């Protein structure tokens, strides 16, 4: 009875964190190489969800990938697939809302690396990919891991955008934040208390990991 929201939250958060980590690192590395208005445009677009209400993010996602949108109708008509009221929709919502956090962390970590290391690697014959994979990523790993922890926390606590696009379907899309909300709404204090304790334990663990990474990064 109680394990459903926990499994959904953990599964959604883990998958979302993996996706957003890859996106955040790649986007940060790419945008560091360009300058001008184009860079400002893309950075503004990436960071925008950080300053928007989650419910608005969910509404925008509905307009983009809902069944009545071009993308949504195409997927539904030709592939019989939809993001709406599915676990996949919850992942999309979590990725969009946490991307600004991961991007900011990855950008800061990459900027902290001395270019001398990259130049030495290039002089030794390393390709750009080899330099990025074997030099840049290891040196930026602590900062990137910190961003992953924060992104996971954001994904784990996602409510508004997920509610709009995935709904609250027990056993399918109902995560812990939704379970707490509806337990309180129904007056089921024991269920709300149980999930509150789970969230506090997980949050405390994430804070400990994040602080540990910060200390190691100094």
Query: Which pLDDT score, from 0 to 100, does residue 210 have?
Result: 86
Query: Which pLDDT score, from 0 to 100, does residue 192 have?
Result: 92
What are the CA-CA distances from residue 188 to residues 20, 96, 171, 182, 194 (Å)? 34, 31, 18, 8, 10
- CATH for 3-217, options being 1.10.630.10, 1.25.40.10, 1.10.10.10, 1.10.3720.10: 1.10.3720.10
Phi, psi for residue 84 in degrees, rounded to 5: -70, 130
Confidence check: pLDDT of 17 > 80: yes
Lookup: tokens for 51: 């300053």
Does pTM top 0.75 for this prediction? Answer: yes
| Mean of pLDDT values over 185-202 | 92
Query: What is the tens place of the pLDDT at every residue in 159-188?
Result: 989 999 998 988 899 999 999 999 999 999
- Closest residue by Cα to residue 105 from 137, 140, 132, 131: 140
- Check if the beta carbon of residue 87 is closer than 8 Å to that of residue 12: yes
């Amino acid at each position: 009875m109680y394990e459903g929201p926990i499994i959904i939250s953990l599964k959604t958060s883990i998958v979302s964190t993996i996706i957003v980590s890859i996106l955040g690192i790649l986007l940060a590395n790419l945008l560091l190489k360009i300058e001008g208005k184009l860079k400002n445009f893309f950075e503004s677009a990436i960071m925008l969800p950080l300053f928007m209400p989650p419910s608005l993010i969910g509404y925008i996602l509905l307009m983009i990938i809902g069944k009545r949108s071009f993308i949504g109708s195409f997927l539904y008509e030709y592939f019989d697939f939809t993001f709406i009221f599915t676990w996949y929709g919850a992942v999309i919502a979590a990725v969009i809302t946490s991307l600004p956090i991961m991007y900011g962390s990855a950008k800061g970590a990459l900027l902290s690396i001395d270019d001398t290391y990259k130049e030495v690697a290039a002089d030794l014959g390393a390709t750009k990919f080899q330099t990025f994979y074997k030099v840049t990523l290891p040196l930026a790993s602590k900062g990137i891991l910190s961003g992953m922890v924060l992104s996971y926390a954001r994904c784990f606590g996602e409510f508004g955008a997920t509610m709009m696009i995935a709904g609250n379907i027990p056993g399918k899309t109902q995560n812990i934040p939704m379970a707490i909300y509806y337990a309180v709404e129904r007056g089921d204090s024991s269920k709300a208390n149980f999930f509150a304790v789970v969230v506090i334990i997980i949050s405390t663990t994430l804070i400990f990991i994040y602080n540990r990474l910060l200390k190691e990064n100094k």
